[in-house]
Chains A and B, each alone.
Chain A
Amino acid sequence: MNSDKLLHKVLYIDLTNKKFWVKNRKDLFDKYIGGTGVAIQLLKEECPVGADVFGPENPIIMAVGPLTGVYPLASKTVAMFKSPLTGNLGESHVGGRSAIAIRMAGYGALVIRGKSDIPVYLSIHDKKVIFKEATTIWGMKSSITAGRIMRENEKGQGVRSIMRIGRGGEKLVKYAAVTAETYRHFGRLGLGAVFGSKMLKGIVIAGENTVKLSDPKGFKKLYNKLYEAAVDTSLMKKYHDLGTPVNVMVLDKIGALPVKNLTERNLKGIEKISGEYLAENYLARRIACAHCPVGCIHLAAIREVSEHEDYFHKTTLIGYDFELIFSLGSMLGITDPEAMLKLIEEVEVECVDAMSVGVVMAWATEMFEKKLISEKETLGLKPVWGNSATYMEMLTKIVLQENDFYSALAQGVDYASSIYGGSEFAMSFGKNEMPGYNTGPATYLGFLLGARHSHLDNAGYSIDQTEMLTKDLAPEDVVDKIIKEESLRQILSSILICFFARGIYTIDVVSEALKTIGIDFKDDELLKLGREILSEKYKFKAAEGHSIKDLRVPERIYEAKDPTGKITSEFIKRGFDYASDKLEEK
């Protein structure tokens, strides 16, 4: 079997006692490959049932996979933890340089335990972990500056990853993010707050290694095939040219882009925040994750002129993606591209999940519009669709939790609506704020049933767009498709390829790739394992009290029109009943 000694090494770090050690976990990697498959097992080992999400007992697991650093487009790291936002499974994925850095530092996974007594960041080089003082960068307004300071103090340029939190994480905003490098994030489900609760400001990890192969000739041949598929086909072209923002106009055209908290289906001026417009007017640079030739990360440049001084300009580079344009653009009714980009920048500075905070602010706007809250709650702010200046101020108030209302907003829209009302239009699913797809019933069943309540769990939106629009699928059929896709994706996130490359990494390619590094799985064994990993996640969720039948469904999805016109409570309920039989152990 797999003799990849680097991958089998799990680095354990104890923040309480400032200790570290390495354990060979060949047992886990042999059985579960890597990534998600291994991470859920480590999470179950480390995280006691009922753990306090902000207690020392909530671990942080990060894992990479056997293909990381070996094949192209295998550049993702998976993190697992108990989510502060949902109270059950926390799982988030990041690209950038993180995966290559962890793998080349000689580890398959990291397990971070305990809680530091002072702010620290971890410096991981040359098989050692140094617990570095982070007192002076704790509380700093900009997470970008904090990242720069870590960068300047550390070696490993070019082969390192720098992950860090901002004030969002320090202040325990339940959807705080961890930024890797700049522009890439463990965005969803609040890993940043878990870092914050541990007084862990960040992690710098670097290394250089080689991975031996059992079939070098086969490896090179397959590498060439995958590389060519990545750079030569239209499959990848769309991610490089316009990037994910290509979706803005695609979804607008079919009326599936959420606008103003789903009170409307189209937004006047939407083209000004489209992928096309941003690329033509603001695109400054594209960058890539390590070992991915595609380069899908798009940076916009905005040049602001000083009001006070002639010829004084500030130029800022801001990363933009579809989900940010949805949550900080259309969802808030913002169509001024520069205003939207500045808001994106501010979210990057505070380091909170862009999707969650956008949805939270959209809910607050509708609450204010409906006079369910007043300036007493908002501390004088008057949120109005499209007014980005107010949203900039609101963001700071949320992060700093300036009163009870903003504290509630910092805990997510599910919690806030349980206190202030308006749950029928509080757009979260499984307590995770929605992503930008109002495509039909499959997308919502996908959010609700996905183990991490992410659109990327099972791509329900794709079922809507390719099938529900033209056919009548029964809820049971939709659930079967969702579970099948999510099971397959467990394998992709165990070998840890980017989901954008899913069309290239078909299951036969996956088994062939694994074979060249000495890991033998037949295609059907992989599919079976994917299903098993999904069950393992569901077991973790169930132990933490998660139950499909208790999921809150905001009534708004039944009232808001969608392209299929097929979202009914009956459809969702039948989907739940069937999914409960399939996914939950009785």
Chain B
Amino acid sequence: MKLSIIDAARCVGCQSCMFACVRRDNVAGIASSCIFIKSRGGISTGFRVITCHACENPPCARVCPTNALELRKGGGVKLIPEKCIGCGHCKEACIIGAVRWNPEQNKPSICIHCGYCVKYCPHGVLEMKK
């Protein structure tokens, strides 16, 4: 299963999904969110919903010098935090901006497609898909 966007035009920009993602780790805030909502260019223009596309041949993993990003079954990657040196190459490699950076831990925030955020989207923007 992977996280997918039904219709970004329905997004009101509340960022409840971002807060949900962080809450999964038993803290509050937004510093480690793996999903990201930002306006297209000022809030009157609507929102961009940025999620990991679970690439089958993910560029983020290919550029990782320490193999800290392992291929995940069904697409995307898993982060092995002990191997990560915080170089940030993965972030640069993901041209849709789905590899977010956690400044507190100096490591990438990698979506594991758990679907927790989907439950907190009040306007039906997100879904889990096979």
Contacts and interface: CB of A to CB of B under 8 A. Distances in A.
Pairing of A with B: yes
Interface of A: 69-72, 100, 104, 147-148, 151, 157-159, 181-183, 208-213, 216-217, 219-220, 223, 227, 230-231, 285-295, 299, 317, 517
Interface string B6-17: 000000111110
Given A182-B44, A208-B103, A231-B122, A291 B39 contact: no
A219 B44 contact: no
A210 B15 contact: no
A49 B46 CA distance: 46
B23 A209 contact: no
B16 A299 contact: no
30 contacts: A69-B19, A72-B19, A157-B38, A158-B39, A182-B44, A183-B44, A208-B29, A209-B30, A209-B104, A210-B27, A210-B31, A211-B29, A212-B27, A213-B27, A216-B26, A216-B27, A219-B23, A220-B23, A223-B23, A285-B46, A286-B12, A287-B12, A287-B43, A291-B14, A291-B15, A291-B19, A293-B120, A294-B14, A294-B122, A299-B44
Contacts of A71: 28
Contact of B28 (A159, A213, A231, A285): A213
Contacts of B12: 286-288, 295
Interface in B14-64: 14-16, 19, 22-23, 26-32, 36-39, 42-44, 46
A285 B39 CA distance: 13
B16 A291 contact: yes
B31 A227 contact: no
A293 B122 contact: yes
B123 interface: yes
B42 A158 contact: no
Contacts of B28: 69-71, 210-211, 213, 219, 517
Nearest to B37: A158
Given A158-B36, A158-B38, A158-B39, A104 B31 contact: yes
Tier of interface size on chain B: 20 to 34
Contact of A288 (B14, B46, B103): B14
A289 B14 contact: yes
Contacts of B123: 295
B31 to A, nearest CB: 4
Contacts of B22: 210
Contacts of B29: 69-70, 104, 208-211
A100 B103 CA distance: 17
Contacts of B32: 210
A227 B120 contact: yes
Contacts, number: 100
A213 B26 contact: yes
Nearest to A216: B26
B42 A148 contact: yes
Given A288-B13, A289-B14, 4 more contacts: A213-B26, A230-B122, A287-B13, A291-B16
B43 A181 contact: yes
B44 A285 contact: yes
Nearest to B48: A158
Q: Which 9 A-B pairs have the closest CB atoms?
A: A158-B38, A295-B12, A288-B14, A216-B26, A210-B29, A293-B122, A70-B28, A208-B31, A211-B28
A206 to B, nearest CB: 11
A295 B27 contact: no
Contacts of A223: 23
Contacts of A216: 26-27
Interface string B101-130: 011100000000000000010110000000
Nearest to B47: A287
B2 to A, nearest CB: 22
Given A211-B28, A223-B23, A317 B14 contact: no
Contacts of A209: 29-31, 104
Contact of A104 (B13, B30, B46, B120): B30
A289 B120 CA distance: 15
Contacts of B122: 230-231, 293-295
Nearest to A217: B26
Nearest to A223: B23
B14 A292 contact: yes
A151 B104 CA distance: 25
A317 B120 CA distance: 28
